[in-house]
Structure formats: structure tokens, C-alpha cells
Amino acid sequence: MAEAAASAEAAPSLAEALEREHHEIDAGIEAFGTGGAPEAEREALVAAIAALRRHIYLEEEFFFPALSEAGLVAPVFVMLREHGQMWRTLDALTLELRADAGNPEVRTLIRELTVQLQHHNGKEEQILYPQADTALDGQAAERLRTFLADGELPGDWVCQRAG
């Protein structure tokens, strides 16, 4: 019993876990073009793109519905719109990377994505994430924690505002 309590205390809050994902994704994107081995940089960027798509999925499927029910409809609407913008940038970036990772358009799209993330993440971290541990009931919070730990993006899933 004491071990379970200690484990619960050691676990990060949902807000901390979501914010940590932001930082990990940012680091993967920032690794591209830093003078390292080109293939390693490309792999880090591809992994960051996949992680961002997964992160968008977990927010839209597990987090935003509870926030909307808690009355945060307008901020969730803004986040969904921004997800759609980022998703389209990710699609373009993925196509360019497949064609030629050295193409200057890749760097242009990375800059565009970075700006989108800076604006988006700041709002999420200041407005929505502080609500994570109170807006989600126990079952919803547990589903989100489980997905954070080992969930995978369904192969055919596309964010709500992508099209």
C-alpha cells in the first residue's frame, strides 16, 4: 500500500507528462540541420514528426473531449484549428523528406512548423494543461496515462481539422 502511494506521488502530473512530450518533440525537430550525421538527423526528424502526430491524436481523442465538457470549448476549438494547420505542414514535410532531405523546402517547412509549435504549445501549456488533472475524471485520466505510456497512433487516423 505504501509502495502504491509512493509510486503515485512519483508519477508526473498529466500536465507535466504532456509538456514533457512537447519538449521531446521540439528536440527532435531542432536536431535537424545541426551538423550531425545527415541520416541520424533525418531519423530524429522523422521520429519527431511521428511523435507529434501521436501527441495530436492523444489530445484530440483523450484530452480535449473532457476539456470541452468542462466548458473550455473555445480554447479547444482554437487548438483543433491549429492542429489542422500543423498536420498539413507535417504532411508537406513528410513528402519533402521522402523526396530529398537536402531540399531547401525541408528547412522552410521546419521553420514554419517550429513557429506553429511555439505559438500553439505556449497556449496549451498555459491554458489547457493546468486543467488536465482536474477536468479529467479518474477513468479518463487513467486512459490518458496508459496511452502516454505506450499507446500508438492508429495508422489511418487524421486530426479533425486536417482537411
CB atoms within 10 A of CB 21: 18
**CA separation for the pair 20, 18 (Å, rounded):** 5
> Quick check: 120 and 75 in contact, CB under 8 A?
no
Q: How long, in residues, is the chain?
A: 163
Q: Is the pLDDT score of 6 beyond 60?
A: no
Cell of 141: 485520466
What's the CA angle centered on 68, arms 62 and 74, to 5 degrees? 125
Domains parsed from the chain with CATH numbers: 13-150 (1.20.120.520)
> Quick check: 22 and 132 in contact, CB under 8 A?
no
Task: Please name which of 75, 77, 70, 84 lies closest in space to residue 141, comparing C-alpha atoms.
Answer: 70
Q: Which of 4-13, 50-59, 135-144 has the highest average model confidence (pLDDT)?
A: 50-59
**Residue range 9-19, pLDDT digits in tens:** 566 899 999 99
**CA separation for the pair 163, 147 (Å, rounded):** 25
**Residue range 77-109, pLDDT digits in tens:** 999 999 999 999 999 999 999 888 788 899 999
Task: Please name which of 115, 76, 111, 109 lies closest in space to residue 93, comparing C-alpha atoms.
Answer: 109
pLDDT given for residue 102 in this prediction: 81
pTM: 0.90
The mean per-residue pLDDT over the stretch 110-125 comes to 96
Which spans in the chain are helix H? 2-10, 14-30, 38-58, 64-69, 73-99, 104-123, 132-135, 138-150
**Residue range 129-156, pLDDT digits in tens:** 999 988 998 899 999 999 999 999 999 9
